[in-house]
Amino acid sequence: MSTAMRNTPSPTSAQGRGSGGETTPKPQEVLDRAVKAPRVIIDRLRPCVDDGRFPAKGVLHQPILFEADVFSDGHEVLAAELVLRAPGHDGARRITMQALGNDRFQARVVPARVGRHLFTVEAWLDTWASYRRGLSRLHEADKVSPQDLAEGLERVGAAARVDRDGAVRSLMERLTGRSREEVIALLLDDGVAELMSSRLSRGFPTRHPYELSVDVERERAGFASWYELFPRSAGAPGRHGTFDDVVSRLPAIAAMGFDVLYMPPIHPIGTTKRKGRNNSLVAAPGDVGSPYAIGAADGGHDAVHADLGGIESLRRLRDAAAGYGIELALDIAIQCSPDHPWLREHPEWFSWRSDGSVKCAENPPKKYEDIVNVEFYNPGALPSLWIAWRDVIEKWIGEGIRMFRVDNPHTKPLPFWQWLIADIRSRHPDAIFLSEAFTKPAMMYRLAKIGFTQSYTYFTWRNHKEELDAYMRELTQEPPRDFFRPNFFVNTPDINPPFLQTSGRAGFLIRAALATTLSGLWGLYSGFELCEAAPLPGREEYLDSEKYELRHRDWTAPGNIVGEISRLNHLRRENRALQSHLWYQPVRSDNDHILVYARQVPGDDVLILVAVSLDPHATQEGTFDLPFDALEVGEGGALESEELMSGRRFVWHERRQHWRFVPQEMPFAIFKLRRAGGVVA
């Protein structure tokens, strides 16, 4: 289970955080400690969440960049090693870190195991490398003195005295009786450097004072395409759909390239204060109600709505979906209809008003008449209610479900989620939780820190170039990059984005292109592929929302973007640079309506360059800079380029390219770039 810190008192000490100097140690003790304190500083380890109070996140088979500042006084050469291990195992992998410049060191690791990884960094002065660098510079300046050479030989002699396999003694022999130039060449030799650095004792070796942790999760935690639908709409027109009706949609969903099928709550729906169409306070006869008003006489969160075909129908869908490589995601909405069995069985879990009623959910002056909330901190709920929710999740895990979209987690206690997710994942490390916390950043990010795998984001409201770029930088260059996995939904049953209400088909292409190429995780709510956007007037809500009624659609309606979505999802599978948001790099373009960015997995020799016109109404054109440097294209070199939507191929010699986007045709372009053969920088 997670041992991430909760917000509880921690011991402080003379070495610890915020120690206040309550007691003044004796001057002699202070000096004794100072002369033994590390001379080499190891700082700003990454990945790191709140100084290690929470684990960072990683994804199986996706590279993790471990980094640290390593520096010391003076001009010695420093060396650093990543020390990586599994909890409960002393044996550690040691990986040499590379100097990036400016005192930053890095090791790139591709995790091959799901679970907690612990790491720290060790660093030291590399006395041989320091000597060698000095000798090299003196040699270039033709200033090597006999004493300079003598000091190299003295170091070899020191290593020879503790030689375990004769390698240093053999070097000693090679150095004997040679000319000055031959001795210098040997002392500057790469192989000799490797031998000597490994044999001379490390200077002032230091280990970072604590380990940090990374939780590596399975691939769909970081790379997946979500498709959301209301199963009750899957039936023939006029008939309440079942999971078996959804089975018949699977070929189309799979052909579009989706691998997660997410359904709003599938449980019995209350009748008391049931909402009518378009969220009206009175339901008409036959109105199906909101699936979020969970619970009725025939069961609560662990039951399946009879009209959906019951549990057997769900199992058939689950198995059929698996055949298409599609995994089901269920909705966890912690709230009850007034008809939920728990109100009778566990009145101690609810808050009763002095007039004997249960307060409905509200955010004054808004009231949610068809639902009531549980009270996590009622004396009678501690901990029985918490356990009951855990058992609900376990029930669905027992049915083979491993993905959960959690409704409004920010209105339930943080300690509850932290415990719940850790508890579930201790037995089911493949469980995935998507947080639907459309709230302020502090809470949205906290939920990610305490265990949520993924999160809905502000992407839906970022339409302009500057704000999209700023948001991507926040997610990929600032602290959230280590703990927050964005799932870029382009719409949801709750969000009919104003941009799409007026953009026409081009806007849907723009948003699909952005979501699929900016984030490893994206999703859509069905209807998006048909460019549906009719709103409740003046609102972000859909007109005739499926939240309150059945909707039947013509999935081949003219103007749909099924082809483009299929192509985009296909490109995501083919190109691992598109499988995480982390590899985002902004690229300069001279048109404020054209966002350009590069996507490149560290170490790869191919790069995806995406250019999106954000204007769905007018043609936009502009120039942008090609990443010649990132692909190590030298003077006179060229880039091989393929535009992946059209398949057109180019060879580009100019660093600056001009492009034109016609919204009625294709408002974006995706280029796969690699260095043209043979010319290296």
| Residues in region 26-65 near its own copies by CB under 8 A | 27, 30-35, 37-39, 41-44, 50-53
Interface with its own copies (CB under 8 A), residue from 96, 110, 154, 665: 154
Our CB check for its own copies shows the closer of 136 and 585 to be: 136
Structure tokens at 342: 């728990």
Q: Does 588 bind its own copies (CB under 8 A)?
A: no
Q: Does 653 bind its own copies (CB under 8 A)?
A: no
Give the footprint of its own copies on residues 112-141 (CB under 8 A).
Answer: 116, 118, 120, 133-135, 137-138, 140-141
Which of these is catalytic: 436, 532, 546, 564?
Answer: 436
What residues contact 328, with CB distance under 8 A and at least 6 apart?
260, 261, 262, 263, 317, 318, 321, 400, 401, 403
Structure tokens at 579: 């499988």
Our CB check for its own copies shows the closer of 87 and 634 to be: 87
What residues contact 159, with CB distance under 8 A and at least 6 apart?
168, 196, 199, 200
Percent composition of the chain: helix, strand, coil (DSSP 3-state, to 5): 30, 25, 40
Bridge-based pairing state of the strands 64-71 and 104-109: antiparallel
- Concerning whether 407 is annotated as a catalytic residue, the answer is yes
Structure tokens at 425: 């994942």
Is residue 597 within 8 Å of residue 587, measured between CB atoms? yes
Instruction: Give least dist CB 177 to its own copies, A.
Output: 20
Our CB check for its own copies shows the closer of 167 and 443 to be: 443
Long-range contacts of 363-369 (CB under 8 A, 24+ apart): 369/273, 369/275, 369/281
Enter the DSSP assignment of 357: P
Our CB check for its own copies shows the closer of 42 and 609 to be: 42
The residue type found at 163 is D
Q: Does 469 bind its own copies (CB under 8 A)?
A: no
Instruction: Give least dist CB 11 to its own copies, A.
Output: 6
Q: Is 140 left (phi over 0), alpha (psi -120 to 50) or beta?
A: alpha
Interface with its own copies (CB under 8 A), residue from 91, 177, 191, 209: 209
The residue type found at 39 is R
Instruction: Give least dist CB 216 to its own copies, A.
Output: 13
Give the footprint of its own copies on residues 74-113 (CB under 8 A).
Answer: 74-75, 87-88, 102-104
Instruction: Give least dist CB 357 to its own copies, A.
Output: 8
Structure tokens at 345: 């069985």
Our CB check for its own copies shows the closer of 442 and 680 to be: 442
Q: Does 202 bind its own copies (CB under 8 A)?
A: no
Which of these is catalytic: 126, 228, 407, 615?
Answer: 407
Rounded CA gap, 158 and 155, in Å?
Answer: 5
**Helix 505-518 and helix 562-574: axis angle, to 10°?**
10
Interface with its own copies (CB under 8 A), residue from 176, 179, 363, 556: 363
Element (H, E) at 43: strand 41-46
Rounded CA gap, 575 and 599, in Å?
Answer: 10
Q: Does 67 bind its own copies (CB under 8 A)?
A: no
Rounded CA gap, 193 and 132, in Å?
Answer: 8
Give the footprint of its own copies on residues 364-393 (CB under 8 A).
Answer: 364-365, 377, 382-383, 386-387
- Concerning whether 540 is annotated as a catalytic residue, the answer is no
Interface with its own copies (CB under 8 A), residue from 150, 281, 557, 662: 150
Place of tokens 């855990």: 390
The residue type found at 522 is W
The maximal CA–CA distance of the chain, rounded, in angstroms, is 105
Q: Which stretch binds its own copies (CB under 8 A): 318-326, 349-357, 546-554, 669-677?
A: 349-357
Interface with its own copies (CB under 8 A), residue from 213, 435, 463, 516: 213
Q: What are phi and psi of 504, to 5 degrees?
A: 70, -175
Our CB check for its own copies shows the closer of 16 and 286 to be: 16
Rounded CA gap, 496 and 506, in Å?
Answer: 16
Instruction: Give least dist CB 338 to its own copies, A.
Output: 16
Instruction: Give least dist CB 596 to its own copies, A.
Output: 20
Q: Does 323 bind its own copies (CB under 8 A)?
A: no
Q: Does 483 bind its own copies (CB under 8 A)?
A: no
Our CB check for its own copies shows the closer of 377 and 555 to be: 377
Residues in contact with its own copies, shown as a per-residue x/- string from 215 to 254 under the rule CB under 8 A: ----------------------------------------
Report, as residue numbers or ranges, the catalytic residues. 407, 436
